[in-house]
Chains A and B, each alone.
Chain A
Amino acid sequence: MRIALFATCLADTMFPAAAKATVQLLERLGHEVVFPEEQTCCGQMHVNTGYQKEALPLVRRYVRTFESCDVIVAPSGSCVGSIRHQHAMVARQAGEEGLASRAETVAGRTYELSELLIDVLKVEDVGAYYPHRVTYHPTCHSLRVLRVGDRPLRLLRQVRGLDLVELPAAEQCCGFGGTFAVKNADTSTAMLADKMRHVLDTGADVCTAGDASCLMHIGGGLSRLQSGVRTVHLAEILASTEAGS
């Protein structure tokens, strides 16, 4: 299958390993990956901070960049959530009904990585090998906006060598929330403290999730604690093989 990658601005700029791993994983599974270079950002930060007018060109850009693609994947539950639940709304708010319906069509072909693997490519065992003790944080937008459910866990359970440990109070937000982490830094930090305590309680050496943004938050806190626990994107685990990826 020919699959277009939406890398997301955060992974493209700060966490390229997550986007690279998505490419390597899909190619290993026998698919062709394309990367339309006109892509930048889905506009979620603007929409969620109250700048819908500013987000409009970014919605238009996403639609224009990807509307010729049959299947689009992004290694982020949050960005896909925004594409699926906000793009058409932003267009409608601006009175652009035509753009809104195009946005709906493109959103319908845009998948978060675990959705693509399980629902479209019908694969649970991706042939990965990752000999670590891992705990999975289901990010809020994967869980409650996209409803990915246990798809990421089903993928992780098939990874050879991986010791999956359950995260207590997993469904509670890590406290990132985009600009929330800056505008309400103290509350965000209090939420993060509890999330980190739960991660450390598992004894895992790796905390994974489907969103680089939440991992940046949790990882930034764990790094400050010098805890030794690493944050690794789900795509990177699934891309790992015995031979090295």
Chain B
Amino acid sequence: MKREKICPICKNNLEKGEAGFPFPRLPESYRYRKLAGIVHLTCLIESPEVEAIRNELTEVLKHSPYPLICQDGKILVLNHERDKCFLIYDFEDFAIFQVPHNIINEILNTSVEKELNLDINGFVKLLIDSRLQLKILKPFSNEEIPLSSLPLERLKIMLGDFLAKQKAEHTVKILINQIEKIYLQSRQSASRFENIPLPRINNKKFRNNNLRRGQVSYGTV
């Protein structure tokens, strides 16, 4: 299963430690479909067609089955509800990674240099340094991809609206739950009185007595 990785651009082998970008397999009609494979990061960035490549990748991502939360330039954030994570496609730096929902606040609110595991194994780490930059470290191949186009501030702005909306939705859910609880409690206390017999009213007498002269009663009396 292990095979040499040949960069589709320079046709050279991708050595261990060299930063590579897993170029996705694109639909048939797309121009850069031929680049599918592990591409040298430097080959991509130094390519004269780099902007066209970024545009094409961004275009395909818009048709993703996962909801697109936001797009800023050539950076897209998708929400993967099943895996409870954000998928970040940074085509400005050529990096794809996912951030679990439960650590997003930790990333956005940090003020000190920090290294966070993005997965259980620690295969991908996110280093938040003093210049508020994100880096992906792949420890087993010593691969380091600085996300120079995605400073923390930019990520904060990108996710800000979505997180605010999520917070509002969460608050609404809590309110609805509370209202439901109060309603159920009131129903329960009301049911206590259901077994108490109500005073019997003789319908016929009651209606006849309440009909004034000249009034017409409807229905069977």
> Do A and B belong to a common assembly?
no
By a beta-carbon cutoff of 8 Å, the part of chain B in contact with chain A is: none
By a beta-carbon cutoff of 8 Å, the part of chain A in contact with chain B is: none
